[in-house]
Amino acid sequence: MTRTVLESKTKTVVIGFDEPFCVIGERINPTGRKKLAAELEAGNFSTVEKDALEQVACGAMVLDINAGVVYNSNPDPNLTEPPLMTSMVQLVQGLVDVPLCIDSSVPGALKAGLEAAEGRPLLNSVTGEEERLELVLPLVKKYNVPVVAISNDDTGISEDPDVRFEVAKKIVQRAADFGIPAHDIVVDPLVMPIGAMATAGQQVFALVKRLREELGVNTTCGASNISFGLPNRHGINAAFLPMAISAGMTSAIMNPVRQVEMEAIRAANLLMNHDPNGGEWIRFSKVLEAVEGGMTFAEASAAQSSAASGRRGGRRARA
């Protein structure tokens, strides 16, 4: 079975066909978050701290770290991103024990993240573009880490799922030339908005099956793209995720602070027999009860997670 092993200093997370769905928290990313970008430029990391703790409490198993700011004081990301990535990685791994996903389009920032990260982070990302393949695959090999492979290439993003499959296949083959095994490639088949392309859902489900059966790779996606432009997006996302999971999707880069989507994923884990005795579902139901009692999802999740670590601490102390 395909197993993509990620590690922090102390914790191992496996993305795999027989594992619970891997939720990669997307929030630590200043892209499109002006307030966060301004805070980071001012050296203020309080939002990063909050996002790290909150996402893990809500169920993120991996945290994506993106340092994609464009500072007013220095518009060259090749200069500003690498040191910011180092600081963010160090900060986050000091706060939480989950593995990280080092996310950048700037080569220096990828390197800086790989240097700073303890354990075995996920690298995000390579594409089928020649320049990107030549740049990222040597890093993947050198640092012996898994990598997210996005199925677009120098011709852009194809609307034809067969073309996107071929791009993924090319990346897997090129990685093999570098000695990188397929189980260290996590393919993002690209989710199109269903409002713009009526076959977008069926495309993803079919692609995920082929990627799994023919290439033996794990998969990930930006799940919320499916509902772009439509009303009640949470409702669409919450049906899409279980359907994708049942087709074989093994992870998503997403916002774990959204209750509806997390509920759908936890229910899908139970239905896929990836939640022995329903223990996780029953624990999660208590969080939902606290939400009905008036807490936010993040508060209720944090309260339960600190209660659980208190219990664990107690057991350790008695041992």
Q: Is 278 in the site for a copy of itself (CB under 8 A)?
A: yes
Q: Is 295 in the site for a copy of itself (CB under 8 A)?
A: no
Nearer to a copy of itself, 171 or 190 (CB): 190
Number of residues engaging a copy of itself in binding (CB under 8 A): 38
- Whether a cis peptide bond, with omega within 30° of 0, leads into 301 is no
The stretch among 79-87, 114-122, 123-131, 237-245 that binds a copy of itself (CB under 8 A) is: 237-245
Site string for a copy of itself, 42-61 (x = CB under 8 A): --------------------
Nearer to a copy of itself, 19 or 263 (CB): 263
Q: How far is the CB of 278 from a copy of itself (least distance, A)?
A: 6
- Of 46, 72, 73, 273, the residue at the interface with a copy of itself (CB under 8 A) is 273
Q: How far is the CB of 271 from a copy of itself (least distance, A)?
A: 3
**Considering only residues 160-219, where is the footprint of a copy of itself by CB under 8 A?**
194-195, 198-199, 201-202, 205
Q: Give which of 19, 30, 24, 106 is closest to 62, Cα–Cα.
A: 24
Q: How far is the CB of 300 from a copy of itself (least distance, A)?
A: 13
The answer to whether the beta carbons of residues 175 and 168 sit under 8 Å apart is no
- Of 95, 243, 295, 303, the residue at the interface with a copy of itself (CB under 8 A) is 243
Residue burial 95-118, b: 16+ Cβ < 10 Å; e: rest? bbebbbbbbbebebbbbbbbebbb
Nearer to a copy of itself, 95 or 272 (CB): 272
The stretch among 29-37, 104-112, 175-183, 241-249 that binds a copy of itself (CB under 8 A) is: 241-249
Query: By the criterion CB under 8 A, which residues form the site for a copy of itself?
Result: 194-195, 198-199, 201-202, 205, 226, 230-232, 235-236, 238-240, 242-243, 245-247, 263-264, 266-268, 270-273, 276-278, 281-282, 284-285, 288
